[in-house]
A and B are shown apart, each in its own frame.
Chain A
Amino acid sequence: MKCQLRVNGEDHTIDVEPRTTLLDALRDNLKLTGTHVGCEHGICGACTVLADGEPVRSCLMLAAQADAGPEITTIEGLSTAPGELSIIQDAFCEAHGLQCGYCTPGMIITASALLERNATPNRDDIVDAISANLCRCTGYGQIVEAIELAAEKLRQRNASPSEASQ
């Protein structure tokens, strides 16, 4: 079946089997491989993308459900330009909020959604927000620090993540 997806501000028409997940469509059809496959049953959060700004599991959503539907944002949509980092991405580097980097795109997408709606999250807010994204490397400590740092930098810019990337 044909699906019209709007991803990172661009329109794509793809031809997929009805059973194709949004995750597989993003990776296989659109070659957006920054969204990662972890468990394929909605637990780990590695495949998190934004649908109209809300974090969703792209492994639990069919491509067909995004047909002519929500605006999808993947990790590739957060970078401002090749070699440049968004404020959140830069904060993850500064705090070393990652190791192997596999859960990282999902974490950053989730952090982005949090900071879009809450400019002054406390530690509990951050812990809650990322609690559905599993990381096996870091023990979450430096991820929390990275998000705290990103929030601070965004406040200094007086901008939300989406405003700061424009």
Chain B
Amino acid sequence: MTEAPTSFRYVSKPRRTQEDRRFVTGKGHFVADIVPDNTLHVALVPSQEPAARIISIDKSAALALPGVHDVITGDELAAAVEPMMNGLDTPAVKRYAMAVDRIRYCGEWVAAVVADTRAIAEDAAELVELETEPSDFILDAEEAYRPDSLAVHEAHGSNILLDRTFTWGPVEQHFSESARELSFRVTWGRSSTVPIETFGVLASWDGWRDTLDVWASIQMPKYADQIARALRIPMNTVRVHQDVDVGGSYGVKRGIKHTVLAGYISRKLNRPIRLIEDRLENMRAGDAHGPDRIFDISIAYEDDGRIRSMKMRALDNAGAYAGRAPFQLGKPIGAIVGPYTIESVEYQAISVTTNKAAQEAVRGFGQAPTNYAIETALDRVAAAVGLDRVQIRRRNYIPSDQFPYLIPSGTSYDSGDYQTVTDKVMTQVGWDDLVRQRDALRADGQLAGIGIAACLEPSGGNSSFEPLLNPANTTTTWMDSCRIMVDGAGTVTATIHTTSSGQGHQTLTATIIGEVLEIDPDQIRVIHADSQTSLPSNSPVGSRMAVMLGGAAFNAAGKLKDKLKRIAAKQFGASPDEVVYSEGTFATADGDQSLGWMDVVTIAHRYFHLLPDGEQPGLEVTDVYQVPTGGGLPTEDGRVQMYPCHSFEFHCVLLSFDPILAKPEIHRYVIGHDCGTVINPHIVKGMTLGGIAHGIGAALFEEFTYDDQGQMNAQTLADYLLPSSHEIPAVEIVHHCTPSPFTVLGQKGSGESGYLGAPAAISGAVNDALAPLGITVDKLPIRTAALSDRIAAAANTQS
């Protein structure tokens, strides 16, 4: 099947989302909107140095300020809570919410001031006197990787959190057999998602109910679990209110340290504690920074451009602490060959600590940098063999008739039709015209280039990278859940068990349940259960909710329909198989007998004597959905099925820039997108356009740079440049649908779409523009000033 199924009633229809109404009227329910009586406010004291020993912290002046209730330091906190969890087995890399004894990055929290208002807390934070002994620091990943380098965590013994080399297939054989070989280095700068809402948390301990209520702006798997462990309280005392609207996340809203700190203070002072980051706190020490990665790539290929094998060394600068950051080297293993038939791969994944802010999860969980590296390789091979950059991709694509397709690292891709998507984009863009347009721009004195990127979006988020990179962790499920209840009046309510940050989970759930039950989705209410009443969920990470929440909702609705059919069958004296259901009516196949929705609902809720034997009264069903294709542990040689689904995107972009000013202007941007069955076209479109904008930012503007003193340069949105409407072109989307055989409706993920290929496409376009000058740029972001300097230097060299 290559076209979207047309038989759906609600799925794939351009219906309005349920969520939007409250947001357009300013009636969202964000964490900063929640301020109970007696709330105290927290401001943080940041370190001014990238590395230092803490000698003393004098709190007296701060405590003397009227309205200040407490000043908490790292020592106090560390005595009362457990360290935060690390993804890898690195117990000596201890991390608390605040620095304990040693400061490891500039901006790290050293004290927390608690006061009647945030303004007073900020005033008092400036009165906390910190005496330190500065020490040497390290910022560069290569330097940190050297065996004799200064260790950021002395107890760990080195900076190396992860250094593992995987060899999947006969790499050396393929390299020796292949006609040609090339090598290069590319670097992905430290950027992030930078939501417009910073992270915030409100924690309120009630000692009479043994409950820690938490309202937080989070997107974090196993959040309540981690809070409870760190605070040494039972998990069933933690109640996370998951109906808080999250003002954007795209991966980064982790917030464990904020919540542990606020939770601790609330238990100590018996008051609600509010910690809402300001932008400065967010940018330098919030969970704000993403991958910071150097790739060294070698490619073995034939004269015709067919790529046989790849060696990839990825060196990631995790910053000062471990957390889950190293796993961002693991997830891309599930799509390490992209959409290509590369036969073998050697992959060295290295994660090191440095004196930068700790790295957290960012959209794609490491896939966008990896795709940038792979796509650069395709462009380099194309140039080497003299092939068109579209042709080189076509020549290496996995053919559509070879799915499920097992890649060397152990993942089976579910489905795809890359040639057809490429065809559609070529038709939409008018390739020959696009080339003429580029050449006309060049003739006009501009540097103009076309960029191409073809890449995959692994989706349906599983956590197979955990056991793959940490043998002490044998997790093999990453389930998600849905519960559906039909009340005595016949209305349908579904619960979901995580927070949402703009992905439209209510709409997703209602659409799928509506599809199964043949009920208008707008009549179905979808609510976010709090963590105490939740079924298992692993949060909307890894582009997973269309697959996982969608799967759970579909199955739960099916179970509900089955129960209703059993009840109707009993009344008809028929077997459930003989009951036909249509739009709320149950009937026998011959149509002689029928019952309406309310008739059957009423029996379930009121007439036990009419229920089938063994049937429970009421109408409530749940489904806890295992990740499709998941469940296996890695093999000893490091192969594992990572994610179940693989969406495809093909980018084509034309841009130009003045040779002196070097500010790129995007003239045309077309993306072909195949994420299987689309649940809601508005949502998928928004994700794709938003992802491209984010990718353009990562490619051209955004970077958390540090100076040579270890100070972060970009501490405001005037320094860390987010693309505005001026920088983002009108994007044309070309759709294709190759349903996944592994999901309930053929759907795949789309939450990371656009972002996973846009940086590679922009980089390709800039390099195409620079090709006449004989220079390349190999580091993202490609900032205007650096580009201008590069062009000037090349011109000087030539003259």
Contacts and interface: CB of A to CB of B under 8 A. Distances in A.
A135 B247 CA distance: 10
Given A99-B502, A100-B247, A134 B726 contact: no
A92 B20 contact: yes
A139 B19 CA distance: 19
B26 interface: yes
A41 B718 contact: yes
A128 B727 CA distance: 11
B504 interface: yes
B503 A89 contact: no
Given A105-B26, A139-B690, A38 B248 contact: no
A43 B194 CA distance: 13
Contact of B196 (A74, A78, A103, A108): A103
A144 interface: yes
Contacts of A131: 724-726
Interface in A140-165: 140-144
B99 interface: no
A12 interface: no
Contact of A136 (B193, B504, B687): B193
Interface string A119-139: 000010011101111111111
B32 interface: yes
Interface stretch (A28-36, A50-58, A61-69): A28-36
Contacts of A98: 20, 23-24, 502
A1 B16 CA distance: 46
A108 B685 CA distance: 20
B278 interface: yes
A117 interface: no
Which 8 A-B pairs give the minimum distances between C-beta atoms? Answer: A34-B26, A101-B23, A102-B247, A100-B502, A99-B502, A139-B693, A75-B26, A139-B689
A142 B685 CA distance: 9
A44 interface: yes
Given A75-B26, A108-B24, A33 B195 contact: no
Given A75-B26, A100-B246, 5 more contacts: A38-B198, A100-B247, A102-B195, A139-B754, A143-B725
A7 B35 CA distance: 22
Contact of B725 (A17, A75, A127): A127
Nearest to B249: A100
A164 to B, nearest CB: 15
5 contacts: A36-B197, A37-B197, A132-B724, A136-B250, A139-B754
Contacts of B685: 96, 141-142
Given A19-B119, A142-B689, A85 B247 contact: no
Interface in A83-100: 85, 89-90, 92-96, 98-100
Nearest to B195: A136
Interface of B: 16-17, 19-28, 30, 32-33, 35, 119, 193-198, 245-250, 276, 278-279, 501-504, 682-683, 685-687, 689-694, 716-718, 722, 724-726, 728, 730-731, 754
Contacts of B686: 96, 99, 137-139, 141-142
A143 B24 CA distance: 12
Contact of A39 (B30, B716, B724): B716
Interface of A: 17, 19, 27-28, 32-41, 43-44, 46, 74-76, 78-79, 85, 89-90, 92-96, 98-105, 108, 123, 126-128, 130-144
Contacts of B193: 136
Contacts of B717: 39, 41, 43-44, 134
A1 to B, nearest CB: 14
A102 B195 CA distance: 9
A94 B32 CA distance: 27
A123 B730 contact: yes
A79 to B, nearest CB: 5
Say what secondary structure dominates the interface of chain A. Answer: loop
A100 B16 contact: no
A87 to B, nearest CB: 11
Q: Among B16, B27, B683, B725, which residue has the most Cβ atoms of chain A within 10 A?
A: B725
Contacts of A79: 25-26
Contacts of B731: 139, 141
A65 B248 CA distance: 31
A100 B248 CA distance: 5
B175 to A, nearest CB: 40
B691 A36 contact: no
Contacts of B119: 17, 19
Q: Among B33, B193, B504, which residue has the most Cβ atoms of chain A within 10 A?
A: B33
Contacts of B725: 126-127, 130-131, 133, 140, 143-144
B728 A139 contact: yes
B20 A93 contact: yes
Contact of B33 (A33, A43, A103): A33
B209 to A, nearest CB: 27
A36 B25 contact: no
A22 B246 CA distance: 24
Contacts of B28: 34, 101-102, 104
A36 B24 contact: no
B690 A93 contact: no
A33 B694 CA distance: 27
A30 B716 CA distance: 28
Nearest to A37: B32
A133 B197 CA distance: 13
Nearest to A89: B24
Nearest to A94: B16
Given A99-B504, A132-B724, A38 B26 contact: no
A32 to B, nearest CB: 8
Contacts of B690: 99, 135-139
Contacts of A46: 196-197
B776 to A, nearest CB: 27
A127 B693 CA distance: 14
Nearest to B682: A96
A101 B32 contact: no
A134 B697 CA distance: 12
Contact of A96 (B197, B198, B683, B691): B683
B592 to A, nearest CB: 44
Given A100-B248, A101-B502, A102-B248, A93 B689 contact: no
A102 B197 contact: yes
Nearest to B680: A96
A36 B25 CA distance: 12
A72 B724 CA distance: 26
B279 A41 contact: yes
Nearest to B717: A43
A30 B23 CA distance: 19
A99 to B, nearest CB: 3
Given A132-B724, A139-B731, A93 B21 contact: yes
A140 B20 contact: no
A32 B27 CA distance: 9
A140 B728 contact: yes
Given A93-B16, A136-B196, A100 B689 contact: no
Contacts of A93: 16-17, 20-21, 24
Contact of B278 (A40, A78, A140): A40
Given A41-B717, A43-B716, A101 B693 contact: no
B247 A96 contact: no
Given A131-B724, A142-B686, A136 B248 contact: yes
A75 B35 CA distance: 20
B23 A104 contact: yes
A35 B245 CA distance: 15
B245 A101 contact: yes
Contacts of B22: 101
Contacts of B694: 136, 139
Contacts of A130: 725
Contacts of A39: 196, 279, 716-717
Contact of B682 (A41, A43, A123, A142): A142
